[in-house]
Amino acid sequence: MTAAEPRLVPAVVGGHQIHIECPVWCTVDHVAYSEGFLEDVWHCGDQADLYAPRIGKTPDLALYARLGLDSFDPDPARRKTFISVDDGSEGFYMAPDQADQFAENLEAFAEQIRAMARTARGAA
């Protein structure tokens, strides 16, 4: 078995324990999160969290990202491993190439924020 090959894991579907193929990166407990139908089984990995500091308050979660796979989704793109970025209200689902572009956008955004911080420091 290579690192990319799925593994068989227990799952509860329709009240019955079965074994399903599960990507190696999936961290869902398919027994604890039982589903009514096989079509409802989904996979996701650990989250990468982006916290934003706030004046006079504790930092708060602004965005999180994770790997996902929904083997029975009507959208063929979500039947392949995708990256989901979510702000808590709406998810943005991306193919790997789109996720690379998003990461480049984040780097440009970070540079703009650094420039604003430099301006704010000098503005008093």
Tens digit of each residue's pLDDT (9 = 90 or more) over 49-97: 999 999 999 999 999 999 999 999 999 999 999 999 999 888 999 999 9
The model's pTM is: 0.86
User: What is the per-residue DSSP string for the chain?
Assistant: --TTS-EEEEEEETTEEEEEEE-TT----TTTT-BSSGGG--EE---EEEEEEETTEEEEEEEEEEEEE-TT-SSGGGGS-EEEEE-SS-EEEE-HHHHHHHHHHHHHHHHHHHHHHHHHHHH-
Neighbours of 63 (CB within 10 A): 16
What burial class does residue 93 get, using C-beta atoms within 10 Å of its C-beta: 0-12 exposed, 13-18 middle, 19+ buried?
middle
Tens digit of each residue's pLDDT (9 = 90 or more) over 41-50: 999 999 999 9
Phi–psi pair at 42, nearest 5 degrees: -135, 165
pLDDT at 5: 84
